[in-house]
Amino acid sequence: MAGSKKENIYSLKGLKSVYKFTTGQMFKSKSYLIGLITLVLLMWFMGPLMMVSGNLGATSASSALDDYNDKDIVSINGIIVCNGTEIELSKEDVSSAIGENLANTYIAVTQDALSYEAELAEFSNSVSVDESLGENVEAKDTLITVYLTTDYENASYLVDGVVSDNSVISNATLDKVLDSISDTFNAKRYEQAGVSSLDVQYVMSGVSTNDSMTSTEYNDMINNKNSEEEIFTISYQMSLLMVILISLSISYIVTVVMEEKSSKLAETILVSVRPLALIAGKILAVMTYIFTIIILGTVGSLISNSVCKALLNLEYEIDIIDFSVVFSKGPIVVAVILISLICTYLIFSIFAGIMGSTCNKMEDIQSSIQVVATVNMVVAFVAMFGPQFFDEKIMLVLSIIPPFSCYFAPITYMLGDLPLIAMIISIIIEVLVVAALAMLCAKVYRTLILSDDHRYKFMDIIKLARKKEEVTNV
Amino acid sequence: MSLIVSNLTKKYGSKTVVDNISFEMNEPGVYALLGSNGAGKTTSIRMILGMLEKNGGEVTWNGQPLNFDTCNIGYLAEERGLYPKYSLLDQIRYFGNLRGVTGKELDKRIKYWAKRLKVEEYIYPHFEGVESGKIGSANNVNSGKKSLFASRRTATIKKVKPKTADQLSKGNQQKIQFLIAMLSNPDLIVLDEPFSGLDPVNTDILKDVVREQIANGKYIIMSSHQMEVVEEFCTDITILSRAKAVVSGNLNEIKKSYGRVNLYIKTEVDITDYINKAGVELVNEKDKEYTCKVTGDEQANALLRTLIDNNITVIRFDLSELSLHEIFVKEVGA
């Protein structure tokens, strides 16, 4: 008589073959390769593109002087500044403000009405209007008069630009000229007052106050090297990395699981390999694929952002997307983060694998992905903004309890708010969760993958797992 | 070696879908599991192979519980399935690896079975083409060698890539799956509807393979609706009807138990009156060929004596047992 032992459903025999085959097919498939290359390139160039476009926007705002087109140049023949303030402004100041493109423009600075009339007459006699502007255009129609006055009521200065009723100068061009002259006027103001731009910035930024606190809290605040911006950068970068990791893994896992079900291959395969080995091989294969993207993407992003900053000499640098925070804290942190990422991936991917095996047709895939994706997005959202709003106790709790710990633990660890021992405890808990999910998977995967007429809900799966194991072949 | 299935039972809730099925295979051969649709054949097979949990009973191979660790099993599932977009060769190698066959031995077996089942052209790349205007000796186009003179001819030789599963017909997919089942040189081969969807040529190919495996001492469990094929190979059968085994045992003995009741007579004259007088049931008559049902040897012999006594020339007189088809219809249809 045969022994009546329970089946060893946790056997991993055949895992290597499943892993090798699935990995091989993913890297041979054109669609998977295109996806890999696209995502990696996106991660490489996202940061530099954001930096370059950000700098272009800043440059265009401050370099309006050089942005005059040919029509602007032809339509402006003269600029007369009537300076009614005590700030000294010379003709050379105005010339350098408007730039070289308008170097041939008639420029004058006057202090009173008489000198203004004289300059106006001089301008009208000396300038010739370009024929392209039209026959009825007079010299005054190509003149900008800038009035600098003091508003004593509001203790400020006014810069007004005036053109003739029939002026050929566009509003946009007029604005460009006025912006340039305003900037120069402000600079002269500070210079005469004996203050620098930085002094003005400090004066204008105001004062921020903290709530009252104990001496311990005060010392912690002093020693805390993370500014609000740094906290947001770290939590944003890490959450983004995790969202990419988990979102990709969910869809790929469900796809590879459904592949066998929809191809009616499950029976043939399950004669040769146990269900846990089958799903584990697939999960590891998808992990290889996704981590290839993540590693190539983050390392490449780091390099491309550094090169961009070094070579292009950009005025504005954007750190939000270059993933440098991952590498800036040292090798131990990198190793801890990597282990945490792997645990996070395993938790969500086993969950996705179980949900994928409940699908009976391709239309079921979307709802299966939705369940896991929703959990992922909620946790990611809380992790992205939580560090700025939650206090330390809440952060500590969320760093220990999965699935929140998947996101919170690495973030709070990098912020220095989670000691290494707590991080290790968090990882151990996640490993136990992985083991529990693996055990659940081993019990239910075969039944789910062979079932094609019943859509198992989550409670059905739990009931299936809790059913007493019958005597089967060992 | 021996396979013993005893008291196999499966229930879904209160419904019993397989009810105490038992049989044994103590020597190589083919055992047939027959039954109408939904009788429990595939469920029984899945339980035997350990894919489905049993509610009762056990299955042993050489005294040990049957599983793919204790027995080298080859399985052709009823549902035809291959990865639609992956290379066939990759898939076949994958399944071979899962069954512990690797490296050169695996490639050797794949080549052997591909040739045997005539599916080489689907698995391996090859050259196809038409050469025209050639003078001289024939060139072997499909050997894979390009002719040295191809550029000087109006030739359209092209390399044909191996196909993917979704490009194959159902019959060819079946043959690939059969190839996969045979890769590990299994001791126990389970074939669920192996001949369904195959044309006569491919049916003959598979039949040859089955005969060869029997001669090689393999144990084969076959489930099929094609009774003539089952009769050709099977020594023992179980017929399932509504979850229960209604007939089980050696096929010849089962047939004998129903007696020899089919009578075929061919004469030169009309013998309808003699048949009716003898009390024999006339089933069909066509151009002096008579198909009848008798109660047994005695009635048949009595009719023969009557014909001889009346100087009727009997060209053919064939008394035979019920066919498996008739037994099946009798038991399952009842």
Using the Cβ of B269 and the Cβ atoms of chain A, whether some distance falls under 8 Å is answered with no
pLDDT range class, residue A320, cuts 50, 70, 90 = low
Rounded-to-integer distance, Cα B41 and Cα B285, Å? 37
Helical segments of A63-194, H only = 70-75, 91-98, 113-126, 171-193
pLDDT range class, residue B334, cuts 50, 70, 90 = low
Q: Residue B32 — φ and ψ, nearest 5°?
A: -100, 135
Question: For B252-281, b where at least 16 C-beta lie within 10 A, e where not — what string?
Answer: eebbeeeebbbbebebeeebeebbeebebe
pLDDT range class, residue B209, cuts 50, 70, 90 = very high
In chain A, residues with a C-beta closer than 8 Å to the C-beta of B55 are 470
Class of domain B3-71+187-255: alpha beta
Q: Residue B71 — φ and ψ, nearest 5°?
A: -145, 135
pLDDT range class, residue B137, cuts 50, 70, 90 = very low
In chain B, residues with a C-beta closer than 8 Å to the C-beta of A24 are 90
Report CB contact under 8 Å: B94, A450. Answer: no
DSSP 8-state assignment for residue B164: B
User: Percent of chain A at pLDDT above 90?
Assistant: 23
- Asked if residue B50 has pLDDT above 90, the reply is no
- The mean pLDDT value for A195-208 works out to 71
Measured in angstroms, the CA of A61 and the nearest CA of chain B are apart by 54
Helical segments of A129-271, H only = 171-193, 197-205, 215-223, 228-262, 266-270
- The mean pLDDT value for A143-162 works out to 90
Stretch (H or E) spanning A371 = helix A364-389
Of A174-188, A355-369, B130-144, B247-261, which range is least confident? B130-144
Q: Measuring CA to CA, which residue among A192, A141, A194 is closest to residue A169?
A: A141
pLDDT value of position A64: 44
Report CB contact under 8 Å: A263, B81. Answer: yes
Question: Between residues B307 and A411, which one has the greater pLDDT?
Answer: B307
Helix, strand and coil in chain A, % to nearest 5: 70, 5, 25
Q: For residue A396, what are the CA distances in angstroms to A225, A315, A401, A423?
A: 19, 38, 9, 10
- The mean pLDDT value for A230-240 works out to 77
Q: Residue B270 — φ and ψ, nearest 5°?
A: -75, 125
- Residue in B52, B70, B83 nearest the CB of A259: B83
SS3 category, A161: strand
Q: Can you give the length of chain B in residues?
A: 334
The tokens for A14 are 């055949």
Rounded-to-integer distance, Cα B176 and Cα B165, Å? 9
Report CB contact under 8 Å: B83, A17. Answer: no
Contact A161, A145 (CB under 8 A): yes
Report CB contact under 8 Å: A265, B81. Answer: yes
Rounded-to-integer distance, Cα B237 and Cα B248, Å? 6
Rounded-to-integer distance, Cα A279 and Cα A445, Å? 8
- The mean pLDDT value for B133-138 works out to 42
- Asked if residue A469 has pLDDT above 60, the reply is no
Rounded-to-integer distance, Cα A422 and Cα A253, Å? 31
Of A428-442, B60-74, B134-148, which range is least confident? B134-148
The tokens for A52 are 């370059």
- Asked if residue A103 has pLDDT above 80, the reply is no
- The mean pLDDT value for B316-330 works out to 88
pTM of the model as a whole: 0.72
Q: According to CATH, what is the number of the domain B259-333?
A: 3.30.70
For A97, residues 6+ apart whose C-beta sits below 8 A from its C-beta are: A65, A180, A181, A183, A184
Rounded-to-integer distance, Cα B59 and Cα B41, Å? 15
Helical segments of chain B, H only = 41-48, 88-98, 103-116, 120-123, 170-182, 200-215, 227-233, 251-257, 272-277, 297-309, 324-332
For A217, residues 6+ apart whose C-beta sits below 8 A from its C-beta are: none
- The mean pLDDT value for A341-352 works out to 91
Stretch (H or E) spanning B34 = strand B29-35
- The mean pLDDT value for A382-403 works out to 84
Report CB contact under 8 Å: B51, A446. Answer: yes
pLDDT value of position B282: 93
Report CB contact under 8 Å: B58, A273. Answer: no
- The mean pLDDT value for A108-136 works out to 87
- Residue in B59, B75, B90 nearest the CB of A473: B59
- Asked if residue A242 has pLDDT above 90, the reply is no
- The mean pLDDT value for A294-313 works out to 83
Rounded-to-integer distance, Cα B53 and Cα A254, Å? 25
Contact A448, A455 (CB under 8 A): no
pLDDT range class, residue B213, cuts 50, 70, 90 = very high
- Residue in B49, B54, B97 nearest the CB of A271: B49
Q: Measuring CA to CA, which residue among A235, A243, A232 is closest to residue A412?
A: A235
In this structure, which amino acid lies at residue A376? Answer: N
For residue B122, the Cα-to-chain-centroid distance in whole angstroms is 23
- Asked if residue B151 has pLDDT above 50, the reply is no
What is the DSSP annotation of B79-147?
Answer: S----SSSBHHHHHHHHHHHTT--HHHHHHHHHHHHHHTT-HHHHS-EEE----S--SS---GGGTPPP
Contact B233, B288 (CB under 8 A): no
- Asked if residue A89 has pLDDT above 60, the reply is yes
Summarised one tens digit per residue, pLDDT across range A7-64 is 677 888 889 999 999 999 999 999 899 999 998 998 888 888 877 776 665 544 444 4
Summarised one tens digit per residue, pLDDT across range B76-116 is 998 878 898 888 999 999 999 999 999 999 999 999 999 99
Using the Cβ of B283 and the Cβ atoms of chain A, whether some distance falls under 8 Å is answered with no
Q: Please count the other Cβ atoms lying within 10 Å of the Cβ belonging to residue A331.
A: 8
Q: The complex's ipTM?
A: 0.79
Contact B175, B207 (CB under 8 A): no
Measured in angstroms, the CA of A20 and the nearest CA of chain B are apart by 9
Domain limits, CATH 3.30.70, in chain B: 259-333
The tokens for A346 are 């395993």
The tokens for A329 are 């804290």
Of A256-260, A385-389, B128-132, B133-137, which range is least confident? B133-137
Handedness of CA A246, A249, A255, A261 (dihedral sign): negative
Contact A302, A323 (CB under 8 A): yes
Using the Cβ of B332 and the Cβ atoms of chain A, whether some distance falls under 8 Å is answered with no
Mean pLDDT of chain B: 86
pLDDT value of position A57: 55
Rounded-to-integer distance, Cα A156 and Cα A453, Å? 79
- Asked if residue A224 has pLDDT above 60, the reply is no
By DSSP bridging, strand B244-250 and strand B126-128 are unpaired
Rounded-to-integer distance, Cα A287 and Cα A293, Å? 10
pLDDT range class, residue B263, cuts 50, 70, 90 = very high
pLDDT value of position B232: 86
SS3 category, B63: coil
- Residue in A20, A471, A474 nearest the CB of B67: A474
In chain A, residues with a C-beta closer than 8 Å to the C-beta of B60 are 1-2
pLDDT range class, residue B189, cuts 50, 70, 90 = very high
Which chain B residue has the Cα nearest residue A278? B98
Domain limits, CATH 3.40.50.300, in chain B: 3-71+187-255
- Residue in B63, B65, B95 nearest the CB of A473: B65
Using the Cβ of B77 and the Cβ atoms of chain A, whether some distance falls under 8 Å is answered with yes
Rounded-to-integer distance, Cα B173 and Cα B169, Å? 6
- Asked if residue A212 has pLDDT above 90, the reply is no
Question: Between residues A235 and B275, which one has the greater pLDDT?
Answer: B275
Which residues partner with B18 through β-bridges? B10
